[in-house]
Amino acid sequence: MPVEEANINIMTHAFLYGTAVFEGIRGYSTASDPGRICIFRAEEHFTRLKRSAQVLKMRLPAEMAEMLDLTRQLVARSGYRCDVYLRPLIYKSAVRIGVQLDDQQEFAMFVLPWGRKYQQGAPGVSVGISSWRRLEDNAIPSRAKINGSYVNIALSTDEVSANGLDEPLLLCENGHLAEGAGMNVFLVRHGELITPGENSNILEGITRDSLRLLAEKELGLRVIGRDVDRSELYAADEMFLCGTGAEILPVASVDRRPIGTGQPGAITCQLMQLYGRVVRGEVDAYRHWLLPVVSA
């Protein structure tokens, strides 16, 4: 249906209490075939959606094969011949007051045209450490993409934006680095890639996983997941943020302290170039990550 007709009641539980989970999935057009769009790691995204849903006592509405087929149909029927972004979500659909969870749920998914957040050759982004701490796993688990938890990110983004910076970094309550605003963080130090570990209240990012594998297998880099101190950020040779929507965002400065030369570093640029080729089906070894769709 047209997106303007896809509405919910204002008393829907998910709207009142944030009880929904979602994914962001990217699709990429190909230069060789403008009508063909490659959906990147769709199965992994729906697997994570399933795990997120379990936290709120929900489930995928269908088996994986059907979810992938629905994705193909939606993108094909949209008629887009450009890069796209898909947002599947599962939400508590009861129309009532009361925070308790029940078994009433619905599934929805929409698709939009989506360009690149970072343009090649542009300067990196300025980031600042937010005073807002990252949600703890025993409060609202970051491993699950729960709609209500994104208030945490909204507050931190608003804070650093008011201070004239582009993106926030959030620390855990113990002072170690967690992540950015819906993005994971990588540092380059002494030729190694360092990223906060899975126990640092991060979302276990699919882009993060892809880049770890590409860095190790294609660039021969050592990738380390561990606690990252605040002061270590200032000492980084390179830094970048990554996520489905943003892809790879080079970081130019942290708290107005330049990172390296203040320009995107060599390893960051190598990964951006490689990742851009992989998502568009230009690297044979990773075509199994792609779900091809022919637009209507």
Instruction: Tell me the catalytic residues.
Output: 145
What the block records as the tokens of 48 is 């994570």
Give backbone dihedrals phi and psi of 10, rounded to 5 degrees, phi first: -70, -10
Rounded Cα distance, 272 and 159, in Å: 28
CB 111 within 8 A of CB 37: no
Place of tokens 């380390």: 224
| Residue 208: its H or E element | helix 206-217
DSSP class of residue 149 equals G
H helix intervals, 42-133: 42-55, 64-78
100 contacts: CB under 8 Å, gap ≥ 6: none
Rounded Cα distance, 54 and 169, in Å: 28
CB 140 within 8 A of CB 120: no
| Residue 159: its H or E element | helix 150-162
CB 160 within 8 A of CB 127: yes
289 contacts: CB under 8 Å, gap ≥ 6: 40, 41, 210, 278
